[in-house]
A and B are shown apart, each in its own frame.
Chain A
């Protein structure tokens, strides 16, 4: 479904991603792990079109999307929950969700999507008419996920799912993502390694702009070195 082949990404003159390759098949749940500054956010920003790869190829459903602007990529069925959640703060929760369904195809099923999202996150349902900036951190993350789902994406990218959230909220969000994942492909960037490995099939490990390991989660969790470096907290 998503094939990233040896991309190099520069921000200004900084070489951030070095020959990164990654492969997602339809329906898979995949985690990307790595220390601060490893390049996880940059990877996601590149897939959605906010950064352009200088070389390499990004294919989505067999189509080269490496040079497309973000608004065209979103129309193909890729949505993301950005680092920092980035709700449209002044706007009502309802309008945030509506913006998620901006694309013509998604707009047609706006009502259904809205019902699905509010069923998934009842907390949002009660707050549809208040400004997004008045939501708690957890609710804002739900809103960010809900907004992404409003476009009815095939592929959902999530950056820092649980950063700064209370354990109970994290649990609730993972429960929701499990439902979401039944019909969609997921790529999740996480610091909370223990959680994410329990909810994904495979993981990639990034370090200073390259992918240093990848494999099924069970395999990674069994690897002494990796457990020591990333999982032992």
Chain B
């Protein structure tokens, strides 16, 4: 029983972080109809930045995390402006462009940082006795709390601010939103930057626990796509539910069946969910 709760906790922690980076993909898909294949590489970039800022520049690890996320936001803005904007209206081009970007970034990381795992120092150490049942690493608990806070902030942003209303209206009806005075190019730019920053936030939260290597971004992208499709293309609530579901199933599957098939569980969940609900858990049929 205690074991089960431990695996469940692991699943929840991972799931909420999956949800965090998947929200970035969902945001960009909803606004721009662009599937960003380099999403995982931006997660990795944030991990490298945080390690670099903390160790090479001697920043406090917390400050390094914030700075790294901001840097990835700016990188996102630059990528949108230079690489994505010319592909507007052609989803195939943007797919190819982000795919190439992901490979270029992987090779760049290998060249600059080498093949070895990198991580910043932990923000907290030790472990806490959870419900007096099992000891759980403080860094993981902190990661869970941070991701949860970021997700809550994201939902508040979408629900209660002008930016949020713009995001929702543009993803429903781009032309109508522009007739209300919304400049669609600016929304694209900001949404892309924010989407990348969400990957970055997840990156800085997880890197102390799972150090980054040049290619782990591939798994991050795949997980994000699975979560987004599972939750229903473009649904933010779906991302959260889908992320937690995937995190929990993966961890329970790894514990009770075999850890060798971790990635496979994701696909099995995805395929069976889509079989039952083709539009995803929270998806709606699009006209």
Contacts and interface: CB of A to CB of B under 8 A. Distances in A.
A71 B173 contact: no
B166 interface: yes
A112 interface: no
B168 A79 contact: no
A106 B181 CA distance: 10
Contacts of A103: 180-181
A106 B162 CA distance: 13
Contact of A90 (B172, B178, B181, B182): B172
A213 B180 CA distance: 32
Interface in B158-178: 162, 165-166, 168-169, 172-173, 175-178
Interface in B96-154: none
B66 to A, nearest CB: 30
Interface in A25-62: 48-50
Given A82-B176, A89-B172, A90-B172, A74 B181 contact: yes
Interface string A171-197: 000000000000000000000000000
Contacts of A151: 180-181
B165 A90 contact: no
A99 B173 contact: no
Contacts of B166: 99, 102
B97 to A, nearest CB: 24
A88 B178 contact: no
A215 interface: no
A107 B7 CA distance: 50
Contacts of B176: 82, 86, 88
B179 A95 contact: no
Contact of A74 (B165, B169, B180, B184): B180
Nearest to A45: B175
A45 to B, nearest CB: 9
A48 B178 CA distance: 10
A99 B181 CA distance: 9
B165 A70 contact: no
Contact of A86 (B165, B173, B183): B173
Interface residues of A, number: 25
Given A50-B175, A86-B176, A75 B181 contact: yes
A81 to B, nearest CB: 10
B19 to A, nearest CB: 20
B232 to A, nearest CB: 12
A91 interface: yes
Given A74-B181, A80-B179, A102 B162 contact: yes
Given A91-B165, A95-B165, A102 B172 contact: no
B159 to A, nearest CB: 9
Contacts of A86: 173, 176
Interface string B172-214: 1101111111111000000000000000000000000000000
Contacts of B173: 86, 88
Interface string A64-98: 00000111001100011010001011110001001
Interface in A150-179: 151
B178 A69 contact: yes
B177 to A, nearest CB: 7
Given A95-B165, A102-B162, A102-B166, A50 B179 contact: yes
A71 B169 contact: no
Nearest to B175: A50
Nearest to B185: A69
B168 A102 contact: no
B181 A102 contact: yes
A206 to B, nearest CB: 22
Contacts of B165: 91, 95, 98-99, 102
Q: Please give me the 8 A-B residue pairs with the lowest Cβ-Cβ distance, nearest first.
A: A103-B181, A70-B178, A74-B181, A102-B180, A102-B181, A88-B172, A88-B169, A71-B183
Interface of A: 48-50, 69-71, 74-75, 79-80, 82, 86, 88-91, 95, 98-100, 102-103, 106, 147, 151
20 contacts: A48-B179, A69-B178, A70-B179, A71-B178, A71-B179, A71-B180, A71-B182, A71-B183, A71-B184, A74-B178, A74-B179, A88-B177, A91-B168, A99-B169, A99-B177, A99-B180, A102-B165, A102-B181, A103-B180, A151-B180
Given A71-B178, A102-B181, 15 more contacts: A69-B178, A69-B183, A70-B179, A71-B179, A71-B181, A74-B181, A82-B179, A86-B176, A88-B177, A89-B172, A90-B168, A91-B168, A99-B166, A99-B177, A102-B162
